[in-house]
A and B are shown apart, each in its own frame.
Chain A
Amino acid sequence: MTAITLIQAINQAMAYALKHDPDTLVFGEDVGHNGGVFRATDTLQERFGKERVVDTPLAESMIAGMAIGMASYGLKPIAEFQFMGFIYPAFNQIVSHAARLRNRTRGRLHCPLVFRAPYGGGIHAPEHHSESTEALFAHIPGLRVVIPSTPARAYGLLLAAWQDPDPVLFLEPKRIYRALKQEVPDDGKALPLDKAFLVREGKDLTLISWGACMQETLQAAQSLSQQGVESDVIDLASISPIDMETILNSVTKTGRCMIVHEAARQGGVGADIAARLAEEALCYLRAPVVRVTGYDTTMPYMALEKQYMPSVQRILKHAQTVMEFA
């Protein structure tokens, strides 16, 4: 089996969905002949036809609304927003309809759909192409937000999102679209939604992250290990709902916790985790919960993006404070 990248795993999952379910459609801007600007939908139109892999007009609210209507009528749409920075025109459709259709009809109608969007910085993209605003969506009841951090999890979680009877926003860390390779069997096996992944075990510190930042977090864990500090590393993966059970199991053991994310700190998902730890694990904490995040600035254009995003060095600096706290 050849090892594949995260974006190839996403392509493989969509091909699996299209192959096994005639009600599944993939659509968005440039997803057809061009195969998507990152090639996530490469060859899908060729293989599954123009009726099922559709280039839409350039209108994000429309893409979202189209998916909602199709899903309510029994199809399984996988819709792409070209960049998360352009998802905002669709916010009303996602928040006012996709996320609440089941509830406001008391279960009569529902909306099983997947919204995909590449997100995050670090690829020297133009302005507006690098944001990480997952917290905006994590705040919306009725919507699931999922972020993979490896090819295998991208495949398994995208299939899980596709099989889920509710709307899922699937955010793809584009910085690592091609950074990692793994063997990912095309077996159609979905990973569980709503579950975090404990990817490294240690007794001294809990490191929680997701998406591309998992790379720096794991490297920091490796460095800390060389200094004798052993970390639990949790890939949150499900940004909403948050798997607090996995987090609490770890933090009640380690007593120290750091959350690493690329998004701005204020109102970020890290804030919610920290608050939950204060509520539910206060007596187990041996140091303040610390967040290593993007700053509360606009995501800078490429000249400064490296300084904005959490680096291994920044994580290690904060880790020192956390470990030294008596």
Chain B
Amino acid sequence: MITSAPYQFSELAQFHVHRLQFMNEQSELTQALPAFATDETLLELYRLMCFTRSGDEKAVNLQRTGQCGTYPASTGQEAISTGIGHAMADSDVFCPYYRDQGTLLQRGVRWEDIYTYWGGDEAGNLIPEAVNTHDFPVSVPIASQFQYAAGIAFAMAYRGESNAVVATGGEGSTSEGDFHEALNLAGTHQLPLVVVINNNQWAISVPRDSQTSSQTIAQKGIAAGVDCLQVDGNDVIAVREAVALALEKARSKGGPTLIEALSYRLCDHTTADDFSRYADEAHLKAAKEHEPIARMRRYLTEHHQWNDDKENALLSDLNSHVQEAAQTYLNRSKPKIDDMFNHMYAHLPKELEEQRELAKEGY
């Protein structure tokens, strides 16, 4: 510390980082549940997390059998995406990264859309049943989504609307300049933006400790003048409530929030990755103990007469949904050469019209 030098330093400011949790690793409540957490809602959140996992498993299976492209599953992180989606209103806008399946399913994106996209067809981003047509497709280039999310929030503020934007990323994305630039803009203009970071401990093979020496990811908001919070990302109730609080604040002109949700990636980065090359078995085993679905199931079993029969009925129902979505995806007509050209511009330049015809003729 340079303040150990023999001078008088005056303290200018103090900062605090807080954490929110309602249900711990043993499925015990650490405080009274928030108002939204009725029996019915908890069951619904559980169902959504299981739906996310079922659909992910199907996507990986499709990829392994040559019927889908590289796919990023969200195993072990379902509480984060599910909590975000449940907290958002239709009028809010979502700017996802690529591990938000649980949110997408609540934004009108169907599994067949997700399979279509990762199956290699941009038509998967059409989202015919979108709850908000302004929702962005997944951002593949890391952290770039925070910038246009801030732009949408800027537009909402300019128009005097009372909605907000949610953007997501992994902890690796918080090393990018775009993350800091977007937070800085959001702080400067007190924009209605909520950034949720899924700190799943891995950026492909690089562990969290090699990513930053920042004690928390949440505190990265402080420098930008952005309210920040860490939540237990395996506690869907905490994620849902934290995002709801942040959205409520954003919608009532209270400014942006950065939420770090702690989780653990219990899967390969994508189907093109091999977790076993770099993950420590013991860590993985410990992380499995904390995973969100098992945690909620234990709670429901202890407090809501959840049992194997109910569990099996639920999984079988979700599975048939997912099977049906996969079949719809597989039955979809494949994109045509026209699709490659037709949406490049509102008015296709002559040159591209010519190239389209040449492409069709095999040149």
Contact = CB atoms under 8 A, between A and B. Distances in A.
Contacts of A166: 345-346
B184 A59 contact: yes
Contacts of A56: 185
Given A57-B181, A61-B147, A106 B345 contact: no
Contacts of A142: 344-345
Given A61-B181, A66-B185, A75-B155, A92 B141 contact: yes
A108 B141 contact: no
B144 A97 contact: yes
A65 B167 CA distance: 13
Given A72-B148, A102-B345, A108-B133, A65 B178 contact: yes
B274 to A, nearest CB: 27
Contact of B126 (A51, A57, A108): A108
Interface in A43-93: 51, 56-57, 59, 61-62, 64-75, 77, 89, 92-93
Contact of B155 (A70, A144, A241): A70
B150 A66 contact: yes
A239 B32 CA distance: 63
A114 to B, nearest CB: 14
A70 B151 contact: yes
Contact of A70 (B123, B154, B342): B154
Given A72-B136, A108-B133, A102 B144 contact: no
Contacts of A66: 147-148, 150-151, 154, 185
Question: In which size bucket is the chain A interface?
Answer: 35 or more
A57 B133 contact: no
B155 A104 contact: no
A105 to B, nearest CB: 5
Contacts of B141: 92, 96-97
Q: Tell me which of A59, A104, A106 has the highest count of chain B C-beta atoms within 10 A of its own C-beta.
A: A106
Given A62-B184, A65-B144, A72-B134, A106 B152 contact: no
A269 B139 CA distance: 30
Interface string A162-196: 00111000000000000000000000000000100
A256 interface: no
B126 A69 contact: no
A106 B130 CA distance: 14
Contacts of B342: 107
A242 B184 CA distance: 38
Given A73-B134, A104-B137, A241-B352, A59 B185 contact: yes
B339 A72 contact: no
B156 interface: yes
B343 interface: yes
A264 B265 CA distance: 47
A307 interface: no
Given A62-B184, A166-B345, A92 B144 contact: yes
Contacts, number: 140
Contacts of B349: 194, 241
A67 B137 contact: no
A57 B188 contact: yes
Contact of A141 (B93, B151, B344): B344
A106 B177 contact: no
B329 to A, nearest CB: 16
B351 interface: yes
Nearest to A241: B349
A129 interface: no
Contact of A69 (B148, B177, B188, B347): B148
A220 interface: no
A82 to B, nearest CB: 16
Contacts of B146: 65
Given A62-B182, A69-B154, A102-B343, A108 B147 contact: no
Q: Tell me which of B144, B156, B184 has the highest count of chain A C-beta atoms within 10 A of its own C-beta.
A: B144
A64 B144 CA distance: 10
B125 A73 contact: no
A217 to B, nearest CB: 24
Nearest to B178: A61
B237 interface: no
B184 A105 contact: no
Contacts of B158: 25, 51, 70, 75
B350 A245 contact: yes
Contacts of B351: 241-242, 244
Nearest to B148: A69
A56 B126 CA distance: 32
Interface string A127-149: 00000000000000110100000
A72 B148 CA distance: 9
Given A66-B148, A245-B350, A57 B185 contact: yes
B166 interface: no
Contacts of B184: 57, 59, 62
Contacts of A165: 346-347
Contacts of B182: 62, 65
Nearest to B354: A244
B127 interface: yes
A109 B177 CA distance: 25
16 contacts: A56-B185, A61-B178, A65-B151, A69-B148, A70-B151, A70-B154, A70-B158, A72-B152, A75-B155, A93-B148, A97-B139, A97-B148, A105-B125, A106-B123, A107-B343, A108-B126
Given A57-B185, A241-B350, 15 more contacts: A59-B184, A61-B147, A65-B182, A66-B147, A66-B148, A66-B151, A66-B185, A68-B147, A72-B136, A77-B151, A96-B140, A97-B148, A102-B343, A105-B137, A109-B134
4 nearest interchain CB pairs? A69-B151, A65-B147, A69-B148, A62-B181
